[in-house]
Amino acid sequence: MAEETIFSKIIRREIPADILYQDELVTAFRDITPQAPTHILIIPNHLIPTANDIKASDEKALGRMMSVAAKLAQEEGIAEDGYRLIMNCNQHGGQEVFHIHMHLVGGHQLGRMLSPPA
């Protein structure tokens, strides 16, 4: 059994978060350490630890994550100028929270997508 993360508590509203959207499949909330003027995390309500664990049965939730990202980008007023959707996986991807999440970042000109390893 995969271990729950802090994101499960956010979904269940057991700890505070700036939740922008929630339905039966996904939850979206502002990142606590924003890397850009808009930085939102969009997550499935059920626990999928990493992108490696995605199964065909998760496709509905993953599709919803994409459509909610597009909707929130419109609402944030960043759709026309553009933004970036990112999902990190495991150590090389820099994943820190093991409940998959899509970062929606934008609101200013973003830098080159990949910086050299630290």
What CA–CA distances, in Å, run from 15 to 9, 21, 98?
A: 6, 16, 17
To ligand AMP, the closest distance from the beta carbon of 35 in angstroms equals 7
Q: Binder to ligand AMP among 19, 32, 70, 110 (CB under 6 A)?
A: 32
Q: Binder to ligand AMP among 1, 3, 24, 33 (CB under 6 A)?
A: 33
Residue in 92, 101, 103, 108 annotated catalytic: 101
Report the phi/psi class of residue 86: left, alpha or beta, with left for phi > 0 and alpha for psi in -120 to 50: beta
| DSSP H or E stretch at residue 29 | strand 26-30
Q: What residues make contact with ligand AMP under the rule CB under 6 A?
A: 6, 17, 29, 31-33, 41, 88, 94-97
